């Protein structure tokens, strides 16, 4: 599904953000990226949704080299990828519904279907009663769920999340983790960048540790009991 | 009643959000247009600032144009005075008049030829010296010359053309004395050229300033909504899909701004006509002041639309990363 071959990335000539990364992520996998701040987690995610192109090496998604995508093909790639940001990136003056529906609107869905799908995902996230609220009036956990709804409403093949639980309390963290797991069960490949050790330990998933732009450790998925319990 | 009761979180004022109405160009165009209108309503303050800036900027330009157009038309009127006069010592017979008239009219640039008899010359002389008629005692029509007054076409009123015309006139046998207020024509044309140059320079500076101000205002408008551009591009919107509503918004702002500026200009113009008589020595309503011609108004509206559109386009280029 996702393959990185000897990928290097530098924002400036002297400092490299990623150095010779080789990584394979299979279809339907759930993987945590971890490491200290500045390790290259966010850069790696940005490579995957086409916001950056590597200086060296290849990034393949579904066999397609994304360095070779034209400007008009990048939107098509992004339609199959849901992205969740630490700062949510919600439109503050728009309602919850509008924030989620935008994913479907840009893809040209019809009005009725947009309404149905959006309300359905809001229901899954447990925030359907607030569909008409402006997002700035929501709590941090609720905003994160709106961001998740926006990323998942389209049933993406890949879900990328950058520090999705950074500002949340434990109850909210668990809810968010469960949403990731449910999406993963439905077939979405999930990649979560976090340095929240508890989240990683709780979920018993494959773990890739980055440091100074390099992969320093990889731990395969444990036979987990959490999945069974879900 | 508990006055500390928590204030209820009110749902937002709901704007009907447009969604793709249907397939085809018409459906998409309608979608983008309704989206642009909704965006304007949702960002009403920013839009008022932008439209206000465009209005004021274009009002300054159109005020300048109005002054320029009126000065030009005044200059046109003054240039009617560019007139060449051929003097004769004797009365011309009707036949001679016809012959000269024909020969003079054959020279290019003539718009009107008028024969002035001695009696007519005396009558004019008297009317110019009204109140001092005693000076004219003893002056009889016979001492005055007869003449042809020749008015020139608009295109033949500059210094060189008048001189060419006069030398052509002098080549006609029988014509020797020609006067045309040489110095006046030269000065008038120099003044006219200076005025046009000044107008072009000032107008040029104004237009550059307006483009700068308007494009920066639009840039700020779009900058304030860069999150929206970013989110749209992250969820897979094509460049066209992101741009179209913003461009339409720019177009609407431009047209609204320029239309408002024309309306304001008309108000100012009417106000001036109504009130200026009390402090000016002449009555502006009777002095032939005119409003901008239709093609200038159309030009202003078009300029507004182009400003809004191009301003948005160049700003969007900077903020869309797709």
Q: B315 and B201, same structural domain?
A: yes
- Chain A interface, mutation test: which of B235, B239, B241, B320, most A Cβ atoms within 10 Å? B235
A76 at the B interface (CB within 8 A)? yes
Kindly tell me if the per-residue pLDDT of B303 is higher than 60: yes
Q: B242 and B141, same structural domain?
A: no
Q: B246 and B203, same structural domain?
A: yes
Q: B235 and B310, same structural domain?
A: yes
Q: B214 and B269, same structural domain?
A: yes
Kindly tell me if the per-residue pLDDT of A77 is higher than 70: yes
| Mean pLDDT across A103-111 | 86
CATH number at residue B170: 3.30.70.3040
Rounded to whole angstroms, the Cα distance separating B9 from A167 reads 23
| Mean pLDDT across A118-129 | 92
pLDDT single digits (tens) B12-66: 444 455 555 455 677 778 888 888 898 888 888 889 999 999 999 999 999 988 9
Single out the residue in B127, B144, B179 at which a domain terminates: B179
| Domain region containing B194 | 24-76+190-319
Q: What number is the ipTM of this complex?
A: 0.86
Q: B233 and B133, same structural domain?
A: no
Kindly report the CA angle at A124 between A97 and A149, in degrees rounded to 5?
45
Residues of chain B with a CB closer than 8 angstroms to some CB in chain A: 9, 11-12, 14, 17, 19-22, 42-43, 227-228, 230-239, 241, 321-322
Kindly tell me if the per-residue pLDDT of A9 is higher than 50: yes
Q: B152 and B69, same structural domain?
A: no
As a whole number, the mean pLDDT across chain B is 83
pLDDT at residue number A230? 45
Q: B315 and B225, same structural domain?
A: yes
Rounded to whole angstroms, the Cα distance separating A68 from A57 reads 12
Lowest mean pLDDT among A28-42, A139-153, B178-192, B231-245: B178-192
Single out the residue in B179, B211, B228 at which a domain terminates: B179
pLDDT single digits (tens) B17-30: 555 545 567 777 88
- Contact criterion met (CB below 8 Å) for B58 and B261: yes
pLDDT at residue number B285? 62
Q: B306 and B195, same structural domain?
A: yes
- Contact criterion met (CB below 8 Å) for A204 and A222: yes
Q: Could you tell me the pLDDT band of residue A229, with boundaries at 50, 70 and 90?
A: very low
With CA atoms as reference, report the closest residue to A135 among A77, A87, A171: A87
As a whole number, the mean pLDDT across chain A is 88
Provide the shortest C-alpha distance from residue B55 to chain A (in Å).
27
Residue B12 located in a structural domain: no
Q: Which residues of A touch B227 (CB under 8 A)?
A: 89, 91-92
| Mean pLDDT across A186-205 | 88
Residue B92 located in a structural domain: yes
Provide the shortest C-alpha distance from residue B322 to chain A (in Å).
6
Rounded to whole angstroms, the Cα distance separating A97 from A102 reads 9
- Contact criterion met (CB below 8 Å) for A79 and A155: no
- Contact criterion met (CB below 8 Å) for A133 and A89: no
Provide the shortest C-alpha distance from residue B243 to chain A (in Å).
12
Q: B250 and B200, same structural domain?
A: yes
Rounded to whole angstroms, the Cα distance separating B272 from B291 reads 11
Residue B151 located in a structural domain: yes
The total of structural domains in chain B comes to 2
Q: B312 and B195, same structural domain?
A: yes
Cβ burial, residue B249 (10 Å; 0-12/13-18/19+):
buried
- Indicate yes or no: CB of B11 within 8 angstroms of CB of A150: no
pLDDT at residue number A47? 93
Q: B309 and B213, same structural domain?
A: yes
Kindly report the CA angle at B4 between B1 and B8, in degrees rounded to 5?
95
pTM of the entire predicted model = 0.72
Provide the shortest C-alpha distance from residue A186 to chain B (in Å).
20
């Amino acid at each position: 599904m996702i393959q990185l071959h000897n990928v290097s990335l530098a924002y400036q000539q002297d400092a490299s953000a990623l150095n010779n990364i080789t990584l394979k992520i299979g279809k339907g996998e759930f993987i945590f990226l971890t490491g200290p701040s500045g390790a290259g987690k966010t850069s790696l995610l940005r490579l995957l949704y086409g916001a950056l192109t590597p200086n060296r090496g290849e990034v393949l998604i579904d066999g397609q080299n994304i360095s070779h995508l034209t400007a008009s093909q990048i939107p098509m790639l992004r339609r199959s990828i849901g992205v969740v940001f630490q700062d949510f990136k919600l439109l503050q003056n728009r309602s919850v519904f509008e924030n989620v529906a935008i994913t479907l609107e840009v893809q040209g869905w019809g009005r009725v279907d947009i309404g149905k799908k959006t309300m359905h995902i809001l229901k899954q996230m447990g925030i359907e009663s607030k569909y008409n609220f402006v997002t700035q009036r929501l709590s941090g956990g609720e905003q994160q769920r709106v961001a998740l709804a926006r990323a998942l409403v389209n049933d993406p093949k890949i879900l990328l999340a950058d520090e999705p639980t950074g500002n949340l309390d434990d109850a909210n963290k668990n809810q968010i983790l469960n949403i990731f797991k449910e999406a993963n069960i439905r077939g979405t490949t999930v990649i979560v960048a976090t340095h929240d050790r508890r989240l990683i330990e709780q979920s018993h998933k494959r773990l890739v540790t980055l440091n100074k732009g390099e992969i320093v450790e990889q731990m395969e998925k444990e036979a987990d009991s959490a999945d069974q319990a879900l | 009643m508990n006055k500390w009761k928590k204030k209820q979180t009110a749902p937002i004022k709901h704007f009907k959000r447009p969604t793709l109405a249907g397939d085809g160009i018409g459906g998409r165009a309608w979608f983008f247009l309704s989206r642009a209108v909704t965006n304007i309503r949702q960002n009403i303050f920013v839009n008022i600032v932008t439209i206000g800036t465009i209005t004021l900027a274009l009002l300054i330009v159109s005020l300048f144009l109005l002054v320029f157009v009126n000065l030009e038309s005044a200059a046109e009127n003054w240039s009617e005075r560019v007139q060449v006069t051929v003097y004769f010592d004797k009365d011309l017979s009707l036949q001679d008049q016809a012959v000269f008239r024909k020969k003079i009219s054959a020279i290019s640039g003539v718009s009107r030829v008028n024969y002035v008899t001695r009696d007519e010359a005396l009558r004019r002389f008297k009317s110019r010296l009204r109140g001092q008629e005693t000076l004219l005692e003893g002056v009889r029509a016979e001492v005055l010359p007869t003449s042809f007054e020749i008015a020139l076409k608009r295109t033949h009123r500059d210094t060189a053309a008048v001189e060419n015309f006069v030398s052509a006139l002098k080549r006609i046998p029988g014509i020797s004395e020609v006067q045309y207020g040489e110095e006046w024509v030269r000065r008038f044309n120099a003044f006219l050229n200076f005025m046009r140059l000044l107008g072009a320079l000032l107008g040029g500076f104004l237009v550059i300033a307006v483009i700068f101000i308007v494009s920066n205002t639009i840039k700020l408008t779009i900058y304030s909504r860069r999150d929206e551009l970013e989110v749209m591009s992250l969820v897979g919107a094509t460049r066209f899909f992101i741009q179209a509503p913003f461009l339409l918004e720019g177009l609407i702002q431009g047209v609204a701004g320029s239309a408002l500026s024309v309306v304001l200009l008309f108000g100012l113009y009417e106000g001036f006509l109504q009130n200026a008589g009390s402090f000016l020595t002449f009555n502006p309503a009777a002095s032939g002041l005119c409003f901008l011609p239709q093609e200038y108004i159309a030009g202003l509206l078009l300029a507004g639309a182009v400003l809004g559109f191009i301003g948005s386009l160049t700003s969007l280029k900077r903020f869309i990363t797709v």
